[in-house]
Structure 1
Amino acid sequence: MGVFECVVASKMNPTESTEVFTINMASNETLNEPVRLRRDVESQSTKTNFWNRHGLWWTMGIDLPLLLILLALIGLFEMGVIPNHKAGFYCNDPALSFPFNGDTVTSQVLVSTLLIMPIVIVAITEYIFLAADFSQSRILQTCKNTFYLYRTYVYGLLINLCVVEVMKGLVGNPRPTFFDLCEPDAAKTCKGSEFVADFKCTSQRFSSWYQMDSYRSFPSGHTSMSVYCGLFIAWYLQRRAFNWRHRTIFLVPVLQLLCLTYAAVCSLTRITDHRHHWWDVLVGAIIGVASVYYAVIISSNFTYYHSRASDAKSEESRRTMRTLIYDEQRPVTVP
């Protein structure tokens, strides 16, 4: 901290003591902070303009083809065109002998909530808490903010889905309803607790997809994706909407609780419905938590340009005002 000393001599009476006023001034580093913040904002603006000019070519030439290839591979795996490993089973294994009674949370319900719930919550929240100092229309800026955040959400969701699909294909673990869904041919002739490595499903009651899905238990995709969705929304609401100074401080925690309840219901019903083993659900939950951590922290995609620029602008204003206010110490008398 630099110190500026001002010596004030009294002209009225030269014999009077000279007074020294010591004023604490901000250091060079503090004084330069507003300049550095402006440079950071300008640098971010330059980068944003660059990507606005070239983003379309990158998106159409690289990003979109890669996304289509990825979705095609996932679709081929789900349809059985890309085969997966079969881990085998033990004859008369009681852990694989549960009847199939359907899903409490169906795949249709899961997919619809995964895609619709985040974009609705983010759009409403962004519209309510949008700063008033933007030049664009409120609806337009809300759409932009929602797009940036939803893009980050989908980015993490795709990573989650890819990890789950790869693990399912490599492990090939039978589900608790394996015997009911598949009706393996080898189970009709094997005896005791013999291990069967090669088998073929012969069920006439269930479609070929259900038969194939009967040995894709590990890990739980319902769990991983529902945990990812619930935690992502809860994290977003905490970062964007929660503040002790708001008129209501319980609305956001209640919404976060509902998101976590959604994740818990989707996960635990996979065990009560006998669609997964408990270790399948546990590993699926770990994947969901890890994908949220990667999407919003490691990859730093949870922040977006206009928010950073606005925060930097307000911070610059506050720090500039602080540099204009000096702490005047008590006068010191010099003999």
Structure 2
Amino acid sequence: MSQLISYCFPRSREDQSNPLERRISRGGGESQSRAFTWRRLVSSYWSDWVFIGALWIIYLSISRIPGHRREFSLRELSLQHSYAEDERVPENMLMFITVGLPLIVMLPVASFVARNAWDVHNAVCGLFMSFTMAGVITQAIKLLVGRPRPDLIARCQPPPGQQDSPVYGLSNWKMCTQKDFYVLNDGFKSFPSGHSSLSFAGVGFLALYLAGKMHLWDVYGNRNRAWFALSPLLIGAMVAISRTQDNRHHWQDVLVGSLLGMCVATIAYRTYYPHLAHPTCHLPMLPRVASDDTDDQVDLETGVRLLNDQQGIPRQSEEEEVWRRA
């Protein structure tokens, strides 16, 4: 089992004396490790938690707003698909795929393989950052665009014999007889696909997390591990495809939603982890400046905190600094 874990989750092949993994000294003095403490955790990441909570509130607040309802033609064939009462991926299953599945995979890896308390926090915080950011961006675009879904006419239930306006040749939502306004208003939220963006925001973050732990972007090549690390993306693709099967979205909605979710997942991942080509990409980023770190040297020209390794070599930026449990 230990050999299997070592094969799937290799550490950096570089010298273990790599200063990126060493203890960091304060002002060139005695070295000290970035050990996990609740005080340092709160001091470093309280603003992230507030930001995630605010995004969650915004997402829930705007998800049921009617938004813009674009005019449409009753003769448009792309809007005449049937309305599916039961979706292939309902919202509870989407939440499991987006949040539950990544947590089921990342928490054991961070707790028992990496054995790193900072890694546990960064994985969870990054995942919720990705989910809430993707949700807010997707819903905001939906409200502004107001593109009809492929099943809009079935949702609308126009009166028998209803025709498009003879002047401009289009109809609007006011001629619909649908009594359920949620069903009707939701029919104008096709672009982009929320299921696609949220699923790729979750499983995309998971794929990046596994890719970092497995060092897929090093110079050695890791074909077998790549199949496992990137397999979550297949789940996201299946969720996205199901939206076209349910007549909920056009293919453009699914494509843009998937790309949006993956972009947000990449941004959230890079907030807490180094880039995948970094020699220590399996480690989380260094905790941010805490109240007990005020003695660190500061570059007066750039305002960047200077951190020294045990050999006293100054580092001009902490962006690539990472932390490993001592």
Number of residue-to-residue matches in the alignment: 257
Give the SS at the match of 1:188. Answer: coil
Instruction: Find the partner of 2:64 among 76, 79, 89.
Output: 79
Write the distance in 2 (CA, Å) between the matches of 1:255 and 1:57. 32
Matches within 5 A, 1:46-65: 52=39, 55=42, 59=46
Give the number of the structure whose residues are more often helix, by fraction. 1
Alignment match, 1:233: 206
Alignment match, 1:196: 171
Q: 1:173 to 1:118 in 2, by over 3 A?
A: same
- TM-fit CA distance, 1:156: 2.0
Gap regions ≥5 residues in structure 2: 1-16, 275-283, 288-308, 314-326
Q: 1:274 to 1:127 in 2, by over 3 A?
A: same
Q: 1:42 to 1:208 in 2, by over 3 A?
A: farther
Contact 1:37 1:316 survives alignment (8 Å): no
- TM-fit CA distance, 1:55: 3.2
Matches within 5 A, 1:146-185: 146-184=120-158
- TM-fit CA distance, 1:106: 1.5
Write the distance in 1 (CA, Å) between the matches of 2:23 and 2:113. 27
Write the distance in 1 (CA, Å) between the matches of 2:50 and 2:20. 39
Contact 1:186 1:196 survives alignment (8 Å): no
Give the SS at the match of 2:174. Answer: coil
Write the distance in 2 (CA, Å) between the matches of 1:263 and 1:35. 38
Gap regions ≥5 residues in structure 1: 1-32, 131-137, 307-314, 320-335
Alignment match, 1:287: 260
Give the letter for the 1:76 counterpart. Answer: S
Write the distance in 2 (CA, Å) between the matches of 1:64 and 1:286. 25
Matches within 5 A, 1:240-259: 240-241=213-214, 252-259=225-232
Write the distance in 1 (CA, Å) between the matches of 2:48 and 2:100. 23
Write the distance in 1 (CA, Å) between the matches of 2:45 and 2:88. 42
Contact 2:67 2:144 survives alignment (8 Å): yes
Contact 2:52 2:132 survives alignment (8 Å): no
Write the distance in 2 (CA, Å) between the matches of 1:109 and 1:49. 34
* CA root-mean-square deviation: 3.9
Contact 2:211 2:230 survives alignment (8 Å): no
Give the SS at the match of 2:63. Answer: helix
Contact 2:150 2:249 survives alignment (8 Å): yes
Write the distance in 2 (CA, Å) between the matches of 1:260 and 1:100. 28
Alignment match, 1:274: 247
- TM-fit CA distance, 1:316: 6.9
Deviations 1:165-199 (A, max 9, x none): 11001001000000112325698343689212452
Instruction: Find the partner of 1:211 among 184, 188, 202.
Output: 184
- TM-fit CA distance, 1:41: 5.1
Write the distance in 1 (CA, Å) between the matches of 2:250 and 2:21. 53
Verify: 1:118 aligned to 2:91, yes or no: no
Alignment match, 1:296: 269
Q: 1:203 to 1:148 in 2, by over 3 A?
A: same
Matches within 5 A, 1:32-47: 40=24, 42=26
Alignment match, 1:90: 73
Q: 1:90 to 1:282 in 2, by over 3 A?
A: same
TM norm structure 1: 0.63
- TM-fit CA distance, 1:268: 1.3
Instruction: Find the partner of 2:286 among 279, 299, 305.
Output: 305
Contact 2:74 2:153 survives alignment (8 Å): no
Verify: 1:224 aligned to 2:197, yes or no: yes
Q: 1:200 to 1:147 in 2, by over 3 A?
A: farther
Write the distance in 2 (CA, Å) between the matches of 1:227 and 1:200. 37
Contact 2:98 2:202 survives alignment (8 Å): yes
Q: 1:268 to 1:146 in 2, by over 3 A?
A: same
Write the distance in 2 (CA, Å) between the matches of 1:203 and 1:256. 46
- TM-fit CA distance, 1:65: 5.7
Larger Rg: 1
Give the SS at the match of 1:90. Answer: coil
- TM-fit CA distance, 1:224: 1.2
Alignment match, 2:55: 70
Write the distance in 1 (CA, Å) between the matches of 2:21 and 2:232. 37
Q: Percent identity?
A: 21
